[in-house]
Amino acid sequence: MRRIVLAAALGLILAGPAPRLSAEAGRSWSTSLDTIVGIGDTRYLMELPGNPGISSELIFPLNTLLEGVSFRRERTGGRIDGGRDWNFEVSLAVNLLAPFGVMKDYDWDMYPGYPKTVFSYTESDARLVWFLASAAWKPVLSSGRWGNLRAVLGYRLQYVYQEALGYVGWQYLDLDDPPDGQPDLLDRISLSDDTVALTYWVLWNVPTAGFSVTLIPVPGLSLVMEAGLAVPIVADQDDHVLRYKLSTASGLGLGGYAELALQYSWGRPEARVRPFLVLSVDAMALKANTLQTQTYYVGATEELPGTTWTGIDHQISTRQLSVVLAFGIKY
């Protein structure tokens, strides 16, 4: 999948509009190659009340290297012809490496009236496919020699797929019959990393709205600060392969983002072709409280195949920090 996305991105660059010998007044294109260091995770917290109830949290790492491409169409000259200046941006990226770090799985007992008690912890190496796409329209609200203020209406899509490979960890065992809720034995557990223990995917569709301020301290150098709110529409699926249990959920959430970027452009402002370099940091946090459905399928021994549990409290969230170095050409 990564090779397909990168090939498509390269095709878009090659097929995109070529630099013009006579530029259209007030309009330009920009294309850049983006190298991204991703830091963060996507996770879910599940709680099923009872006596005791069960709580589980799975944390999937997103620490990896991504490569992408960005395109921008920009209109300038509104101060001359009375029109509104704007730009429209589209970006695509995909990870190149497996994530640094491990997938972590915590389990707690929940007794009414008492704090949660952890009884199991495991961690696993992971395979990762992480695809990102975004688009944003940024009309200028105010501008001057100092820079400009823009409104930002955007959309971000993220698809994360991970496979947990084996596991190593521990769990407390209650050996009493019937169980009395008191752990009797600490058992170390492991599974070879050539075995897929579970698969997980999450899809984020994220409309955003915010503002950006661009400051131009000297010609060719600009500082961009942007922040806004996000209303994610999210869906996820966890397949506990070893337990023959499929869990799904979807819902609406809330979040926000902030970005700081420093851009330097070479050449004179009126030049038809100008290379530029951008260093930026982007932070985003999203969370959605949903209800999960769990279904046991053929092969299950915990419950009869076909057994379904619904209405389970399920919180999906992600916290991400991206450091981006982009080299591009404006033409």
**Local confidence pLDDT in tens for the 331 residues of the chain:** 555 444 444 444 444 444 333 334 478 899 999 999 999 999 999 999 888 899 999 999 999 999 999 999 998 765 544 457 899 999 999 999 999 999 999 999 998 888 898 999 999 999 999 999 999 999 999 988 899 999 999 999 999 999 999 999 999 876 666 665 566 678 899 999 899 999 999 999 999 999 999 999 998 999 999 999 999 999 999 999 999 999 999 999 999 999 999 999 998 877 789 999 999 999 999 999 999 999 999 999 999 999 999 999 999 999 999 999 999 999 9
The structural domains of the chain, ordered by start, are 2-16+27-330 (2.40.128.90)
Residue of 103, 111, 116 lying closest to 169 (CA atoms): 103
Query: What single DSSP character describes residue 220?
Result: T
pLDDT at site 52: 84
Structure tokens at 163: 């496979």
Structure tokens at 245: 């249990």
pLDDT at site 267: 84
pLDDT at site 187: 86
- The backbone torsions φ and ψ at residue 113, rounded to the nearest 5 degrees and listed phi first, read 85, 0
Strands 254-265 and 221-230: antiparallel
Place of tokens 């609200």: 141
pLDDT at site 175: 62
pLDDT at site 300: 93
pLDDT at site 10: 42
Amino acid found at 287 = K
Place of tokens 């970005």: 259
pLDDT at site 272: 83
What is the spatial distance between Cα 284 and Cα 306, in angstroms, rounded to a whole number? 38
Q: What is the largest CA-CA distance in the chain?
A: 85
What is the spatial distance between Cα 23 and Cα 77, in angstroms, rounded to a whole number? 13
Q: First-to-last CA distance in the chain?
A: 31
Q: Which residues, 6+ apart, have CB-to-CB distance to 77 below 8 Å? A: 25, 26, 83, 85
What is the spatial distance between Cα 171 and Cα 184, in angstroms, rounded to a whole number? 11
**Cβ(68)–Cβ(90) under 8 Å?**
no
Residue of 315, 290, 252 lying closest to 56 (CA atoms): 315
Q: How far is CA 169 from the centre of its chain?
A: 27
Give the three-state DSSP class for 207: strand
**Cβ(103)–Cβ(164) under 8 Å?**
yes
Give the three-state DSSP class for 190: strand
What is the spatial distance between Cα 194 and Cα 168, in angstroms, rounded to a whole number? 13
pTM over 0.95: no
